[in-house]
Structure 1
Amino acid sequence: MRIFFGLETDSDTRRALADWRDRYGIAAGRAVPAANFHITLAFIGEVDNRRLDTLCRAVDALEPGPHGGAGKILLDQVGYWPKPGIYWAGPSQPAPELAALARKLQHVGGMVGARLEKRPFAPHVTLYRGCTEPPPAPAVLPAITLAYAHFTLFESQLGRQGASYQALEHWQLEP
C-alpha cells in the first residue's frame, strides 16, 4: 500500500476551499476533488503490513510534546509549481510547529525505508493537478482557516476516477 501522513480538512474547510477555487482560482488542469483536500506532512510511499505495523508503533512511541499541538493555519496565498503542474493554496506565514511535526514523521518514515525529503516543508492544499500553464493571478486571495487537532495516516488508492485517500489511523495532538 502507498501511504502518507497528513492533516485532514473538515467539511467546512473543504467547502470553503472548493468554493474559492471555483470562483477565483481557475486553472488549466484537473481540479482535485474536495474530498481529497489535505496537507501532506510526510510521504512514506509503498509499505507492506509488517512495515506499516512498525511505522504505527514508532509514531505511537513519540513523546506528545515534540511534535507540537493542535492549532490552525490561515490559507491565504496561492502558488504554482510548474514541474509537477500543481496549483495550490497555503499559508503566507511560516508554520514552525507543522514543520517540526513533518520532520519527526519523515524521520519515523525513514525507519521503514521512506526516502527523506530534501526540499523544505511547504504546507499546502493542492487545488489542481496537471496544469499545463501558470494560472492567472486570482482577483481575490483565499482567507480560509484550517484548524487541526490530529494528524492522519492515509492510504492513497488509485481508481478509475484517480486517487482517493483512505484514513488508516489518527493521532491526537495536545491542545
Structure 2
Amino acid sequence: MFDTPLDPPPDPPAALRLFFALWPGQALRRHIAEHQRLWQWAPPARPAAATKLHLTVLFMEGVPADRVTTLLEVGERVARNWADFALTLDRAAVWRHGGIAHLTPSQPPAELLSLRAALAEQVGQRGLPFDARAFAPHVTLARRAQATQPPVTFPPLHWTVRGFALVHSVLGTGRYDVIGRWPLNR
C-alpha cells in the first residue's frame, strides 16, 4: 500500500475556436459599414461592428491551445502559393434558418475556393479539427436577422484580397483576436 497521494493528471490544453479569414482593410470595412446602412434592420438584429467584419475561409473549433503554432506554420506555408485576387460581394441575403444577414459573391473566385481547399488539406494533414461542411463564402453583417430585408439593389463591393489571417474567436466575449497575418505574394 502506498500512503502518498497520486499527482492529479495534468489539465488538458484549452480548446480554442479559431478561423482562417480574409480580413478587409479600413477602406473596405467603411464600404461594408455603409452597405449595412442600406438594410432595413428588424429587431432583434443589430449590424456587426466594422472591426468584426471578415470572410471566414476555414473554421476550426476545439483546437488545442498548444497547436496554435502549427496553424501559424500552415498559414505561412499556404500563403507562399497565392497571389492577390479579386472578390466581388454582389449578393445580399438572409439565411432564414440561422438568421444571418450577409454579403456574398455570386461567383466565388477559383482562387478563394482553392485557398480554402489548401488550408483544409494542410490542417487535416496535421490532425486538427475543422468544419468540413460545404463552403458558403460570406461576410456576416448581422445575426438574428430573420425578419430583416436586404436592399433590393446596391453597388457591388470589390475586394482585392491581398492576404489572410488566423483569428481567435474568444468565447463568451464576442471578441476576435488576430493572431497571425500573411500576405499573398506568389
TM-score after normalising by structure 1: 0.85
Q: How is 1:127-166 mapped onto 2 (pairs within 5 angstroms)?
A: 127-133=141-147, 135-159=148-172, 163-166=174-177
Q: How is 1:1-175 mapped onto 2 (pairs within 5 angstroms)?
A: 1-22=16-37, 24-28=38-42, 29-62=45-78, 64-65=80-81, 68-110=82-124, 111-119=126-134, 121-133=135-147, 135-159=148-172, 163-174=174-185
Q: How many residues align?
A: 168
Q: Cα offset for 1:164?
A: 2.0
Which 4+ residue blocks in structure 1 deviate beyond 6 angstroms?
A: none
Matched to 1:50, the amino acid is D
SS in 2 for 1:46: strand
Max Rg structure: 2
Q: Quote the Cα distance in structure 2 between the aligned partners of 1:15 and 1:84.
A: 25
Q: Cα offset for 1:63?
A: 7.5
Root-mean-square deviation (Å): 2.0
SS in 1 for 2:113: helix
Q: Quote the Cα distance in structure 2 between the aligned partners of 1:93 and 1:61.
A: 27
TM-score after normalising by structure 2: 0.80
Unaligned runs of 5+ in 1: none
Unaligned runs of 5+ in 2: 1-15
Q: Quote the Cα distance in structure 2 between the aligned partners of 1:126 and 1:112.
A: 28
User: What are the Cα deviations for residues 82-140 of structure 1, in whole angstroms up to 9, with x where unaligned?
Assistant: 22210101212221100110111122232343134221x2221111101233x324143
Q: Cα offset for 1:12?
A: 1.1
